[in-house]
Structures are given as C-alpha cells and as structure tokens.
Amino acid sequence: MARQLSPVAAVVVGLGCALMGTFIVLLGLGALGEPPLADGVPAWVGVLGGVVFVLGGAALIVGYVVAGGATADGDLPPGTPFSVRLVQYLLGLGITMSLASIASWVAFGPGPRQFGGSGTFGGGAVSETLGRAVFGLGAGLTWLFVITLGVVGLRRLGRR
C-alpha cells in the first residue's frame, strides 16, 4: 500500500500551498503594488495561477484530514460522506479548469507572445506560431482531462 500523508503534514503542506496561492492572487489583483505581469496579460491569469495553489492546498486538507486519505485507486475511503466527496470533486474541477483556462489564454488570447525553449539539441527563441500551437495542444488535452475528470467524478459521486 502506498504511504499516506499524515493529517499534520497535510495541514502544513495544504496551508503552505494556500498561503502561497493567496500571495499570488493578491499580486495578480495588484493589492501588493503593481502586478508583476507582462504587458497585455490580464489580471485574471495571475489570479487563476494563485487559485490553483489555494484549491490544491484545500484538496490536500480535505482529502487527508477530513476524509482520512486515499485508497489504492486514488478514491476517497469507503464511507466518506457525500458532502466531502462533492467538495473534493469540485476542488479537482476548479484546479483543472483553472489550468486549462490559463493555457487556453496563452494559446488563443489576444496580443503577441514570446516563447523560448531548451533541450538536447539547443534552445533559444521559439516562433509565436509554434509556441501558440504547443499551448493550444496542451490546452486541448487539459480540457479533455477536465471532461474526463468531470465524468469519472460524477460516476463516483453517483455510486454513493
């Protein structure tokens, strides 16, 4: 059986993630001064980046403190109340939809983009078209994951 995160560790890591996410949200909103976003990047992109960490921290706490961990298949333990399962499902959807939205904006949003790359055979600037295409592919795959997570999660919720 896989090792479980202890409730104390889940609270520490979960709160750390949530605090970091809150900091990023506040930066994105300009509450701590001028947002450190590149020209043309809307504030919501930065805010969603922080929201991912906040929701991730909450998911850790709900999964390991409230629900008591995960089973071998990644589901919550049998007997977990429906309300806890629903919250965990919504947190997962929120995380994946936020990531998909950010990738979609990079690929399809207005304004110029600058991309760079590195690898075994060299690196440097990457054309905007190639960069947007790669982010578009990533966005499409992430939205496919959102749909899959939504369907599988609803089926799991329906079993209870």
Q: Kindly list the averaged pLDDT for each block of 10 residues, start to end, along the chain of length 160.
A: 80 97 93 80 92 97 92 85 95 97 95 83 82 95 97 86
What gap in Å lies between CA 120 and CA 123, rounded to an integer?
A: 8
Please report the beta strands in the chain, taking only residues with DSSP state E, as ranges in sequence order. Answer: 115-119, 122-126
The span from the CA of 29 to the CA of 154, in Å, is 33
Residue 4 carries which side chain, given as an amino acid letter? Q
What does the angle CA 31 – CA 94 – CA 136 come to, to the nearest 5 degrees? 90
Question: Quick one: pLDDT at residue 70?
Answer: 83
